Structure 1
Amino acid sequence: MEQEVPNTNTPVALVVGVTGMVGLSLAEALKSPTALGGPWKVYGSARRPKPTWFPSSTPDITYITFDALNFDDTLKHLAPIAHEITHVFWVAIQVRENEESNVAANSTMLENVIKALKSATPSRLCHITLQTGTKHYMGPIFDPVLGTQLVHHEPPFHEDMPRLPYPNFYYALEDLLASYSPSLSYSVHRSSIIVGASSRSFYNALLTLCVYATICRYQGLPFRYPGTKYAWENFCDMSDARVLAEQQIWAAVTDRAKNQAFNCTNGDVFTWKCFWKVCCEIFDVEFVPFDENEKFDWVGMMKKKGRVWDEIVEKYGLYKTNMEEIICPEALDAVLHFSFPHVCSMNKSREFGFFGYANTLKSIGMWVGRLRDMKIIP
């Protein structure tokens, strides 16, 4: 295939993980007429074919499917465009049975993509944005062994906190990017709990709650909060996918932000009590006051609701999903049992010149509306 000669004045983005919550927001933000550094040419990649809910409003995003764990497959699909790409937005993740396996899998994926893009002669690749998260400050909380032994940093979390003495694939990916300096610059974006719209994000707290609330309404069950009193009453923060996309694009084109790590949250805090009330209004279910004496196995209950979800999908003509693949009850349950305020400092980001923000509780209705428009929930 004859290669297209790139316009050397046009930035060309490759969004790796384009069907995830932040990947979708990045694709839309990069194609916005007001995008910093634009106009951008955008490629989006994922492991699986493009879902029907992927917005038709972005027809000028070229969609590529490949397995980043397989270098030959990665090179085959990226070689024809490698000479064009100037920026990689890395929002991909694969989750394995323990953190050592997470390190191996995610490092392999990122290295395969970088090698494939740098194989071009000449290569235009100049910057990579890397999305990680607050496990940077807490350690591998989902590791079946290490997760019970962790000593985390005290919140609010800030970027100059030292690394914890545990394996962490976030650390491995940062080190991998740093090893390519100075030929490549990079920026690291540490999110909190991400809220956005997708059926293909591994940790999707909002969609998990949407499915839970929908099943409760469908079966006439109480929409009960399954966490602790501490989490119910104390502060937590979130990261709107639009704010994450905005910060990543800003860092990609701002010299000051090169080779820096930034927290990225909405800039406000909330309590799960207030969040629960918003969900009750959105899904028209009764608000049940929290009673710490009423314990119930929420994770176990949700695992038994797969057939109920199948009925709901069929009844409302939704995009076909297996409930087990779109919810993360164990991960959300861990968040709802935190015994500390899950709060990040945004001071560094503001000091460097990024002022993006979102009103967390107001944004929930918008994102639920998008999930409904995409026919992922009724």
Structure 2
Amino acid sequence: MSAGRVLVAGASGLIGAAAITAFAAEGWDVVAFSRRPPEVEASVRCRHVPVDLTDGSATREAVAALAPRPTHLVYAAAYEKPDLVAGWSDPRQMATNEAMLGNVLGPLAAGGALRHATVMQGTKAYGAHLHPIPIPARERAPRDDHENFYWRQEDLLRELADRHAFDWTVLRPVQVVGPAYGVSYCTPPVIGAFAALSAATGIPFGFPGGTVHPVRQVVDARLVAGALVWAATSPAARGEHFNLTNGEVFSWQELWPSLADAMGVPCAPPRPMSLTEELPRLAGVWRDIVTRHRLRPLSLLDVLGRSHQYADYTFGYGLTTMPPPALVSTVKVKQAGYTRVHDTEATFRDALRTLVERRVLPDLTGAAG
């Protein structure tokens, strides 16, 4: 017997694909909404419904056609502007993201079967992209006074939950890491493509960010997916916000040699470089790499998505002075009962290895030979 029926919206993204795998492993009946099919193992059972969540009419029709109706919603979709960082403060982007959630959650809640919905936020909830934040940032802090689509979505979530009597949870993962490609916020395909292009051109594979060493946090996509399964049925998660991290901090510069080793390329000294500017210029070299290594026929931008823009941001490209730390506490979620942690170095190495196994990145280690 199924543990329940969950609709994963934004299923082809980094969190969505991991959520499908996690729920299916626990015996849930999984329905996936996204424009393109989610990349999951062949053994993972889910029903994919191709739908563009910005199309309100098509989304409502897709929800209405679901039988039986899902009892749970995981909302992991996001609309981003072409200029990734600038889009974070764009009112039109905020309005689009609010409408997308409404297109799914409105008809799903009105159907009467919905028992729980989880939506995603992040450290921008604390204003980390705008100003220094408390260290560590905690969920009990008052709502940060800035325009953000998180607040619009959360207000809509609360309104519909009160009207239709379902429970909700908000998860706030820091930078999520996993084996996704062609998305907006995933650094492993950027790191792997940069390594392959370095090997092909002789460009040194040195850390391309700033000259300072800020402390960072990330979270494994599998940890986030586990938290989504936990939140779906745990009374301790109802009506709560939870930060999520791997449970440790790291420095990009200190991690870089391990990334070079994972990709099978020499690690060079740090060398500031805008990947947003430089990588697209090597699209022709990437085509040669695809042919030589018999990779999937993906263009360089198909692999990167907009994540090379995010890589410049998180690597600190252009920084010459230490930025304020942006670290969050995960005491609350652990006290509530979800205690999973991950080794950050292993998180990145696992993601890179999976992208190689899926023939998105080349095997430069010699392991395949």
The residue number in structure 2 matching 1:344 is 328
**Structure 1: which 5+ residue stretches go unaligned?**
1-6, 142-149
The residue number in structure 1 matching 2:189 is 207
For residues 298 and 200 of structure 1, the distance between their equivalents in structure 2, rounded to whole angstroms, comes to: 15
Q: With the length of structure 2 as denominator, give the TM-score of the two structures.
A: 0.88
Match of 1:261, SS state, is strand
Give 2:60's aligned amino acid.
L
Equivalent residue in structure 1 for 2:157, among 171, 177, 186: 177
Match of 2:145, SS state, is coil
Measured after TM superposition, the shift of residue 297 of structure 1 is: 4.0
Question: Are positions 1:92 and 2:77 aligned together?
Answer: yes
Question: Are positions 1:128 and 2:87 aligned together?
Answer: no
**Maintained 8 Å contact 1:156/1:342:** yes
* Equivalence map 1:186-197=2 (5 Å): 186-197=168-179
Residue by residue, what CA displacement relative to the aligned partner does 1:267-296 show, whole Å, maximum 9, x if unpaired?
111111221011111112222233xxx644
Give 2:13's aligned amino acid.
G
The residue number in structure 2 matching 1:376 is 360
Match of 2:161, SS state, is coil
Match of 1:64, SS state, is strand
Provide the aligned length of Structure 1 versus Structure 2.
347
**Structure 2: which 5+ residue stretches go unaligned?**
317-321, 363-369
Measured after TM superposition, the shift of residue 303 of structure 1 is: 2.5
* Residues 322 and 86 of structure 1: CA distance in aligned 2, closer, same or farther (over 3 Å): same
Measured after TM superposition, the shift of residue 359 of structure 1 is: 0.6
Equivalent residue in structure 1 for 2:97, among 71, 91, 106: 106
- What is the RMSD of the two structures over their aligned residues, measured on CA atoms? 2.0
Identity %: 25
Q: With the length of structure 1 as denominator, give the TM-score of the two structures.
A: 0.86
Question: Are positions 1:246 and 2:226 aligned together?
Answer: yes
For residues 274 and 58 of structure 2, the distance between their equivalents in structure 1, rounded to whole angstroms, comes to: 43
Measured after TM superposition, the shift of residue 10 of structure 1 is: 4.4
Match of 2:313, SS state, is helix
For residues 154 and 44 of structure 1, the distance between their equivalents in structure 2, rounded to whole angstroms, comes to: 37
Equivalent residue in structure 1 for 2:136, among 156, 178, 203: 156
Give 1:114's aligned amino acid.
L
* Residues 116 and 313 of structure 1: CA distance in aligned 2, closer, same or farther (over 3 Å): farther
For residues 235 and 23 of structure 2, the distance between their equivalents in structure 1, rounded to whole angstroms, comes to: 18
The residue number in structure 1 matching 2:263 is 283
Measured after TM superposition, the shift of residue 204 of structure 1 is: 1.2
The residue number in structure 2 matching 1:273 is 253
Give 1:41's aligned amino acid.
D
The residue number in structure 1 matching 2:338 is 354
**Maintained 8 Å contact 2:263/2:352:** no
The residue number in structure 2 matching 1:259 is 239
**Maintained 8 Å contact 2:125/2:150:** yes
**Maintained 8 Å contact 2:133/2:326:** no
Residue by residue, what CA displacement relative to the aligned partner does 1:98-155 show, whole Å, maximum 9, x if unpaired?
33122111111110101232343xx21111111121111235x4xxxxxxxx323133
Question: Are positions 1:56 and 2:42 aligned together?
Answer: yes
Question: Are positions 1:299 and 2:292 aligned together?
Answer: no
Question: Are positions 1:364 and 2:348 aligned together?
Answer: yes
For residues 115 and 242 of structure 1, the distance between their equivalents in structure 2, rounded to whole angstroms, comes to: 28
For residues 152 and 337 of structure 2, the distance between their equivalents in structure 1, rounded to whole angstroms, comes to: 27
For residues 324 and 165 of structure 1, the distance between their equivalents in structure 2, rounded to whole angstroms, comes to: 35
For residues 246 and 285 of structure 1, the distance between their equivalents in structure 2, rounded to whole angstroms, comes to: 33
For residues 258 and 181 of structure 2, the distance between their equivalents in structure 1, rounded to whole angstroms, comes to: 21
For residues 31 and 164 of structure 1, the distance between their equivalents in structure 2, rounded to whole angstroms, comes to: 36
* Residues 128 and 348 of structure 1: CA distance in aligned 2, closer, same or farther (over 3 Å): same
**Maintained 8 Å contact 2:173/2:219:** yes
Residue by residue, what CA displacement relative to the aligned partner does 1:224-262 show, whole Å, maximum 9, x if unpaired?
21222323xx42111100000111111111112111010
**Maintained 8 Å contact 2:132/2:325:** no
The residue number in structure 1 matching 2:127 is 138
* Equivalence map 1:204-243=2 (5 Å): 204-231=186-213, 234-243=214-223
For residues 296 and 68 of structure 1, the distance between their equivalents in structure 2, rounded to whole angstroms, comes to: 36
* Residues 309 and 11 of structure 1: CA distance in aligned 2, closer, same or farther (over 3 Å): same
For residues 75 and 69 of structure 1, the distance between their equivalents in structure 2, rounded to whole angstroms, comes to: 11
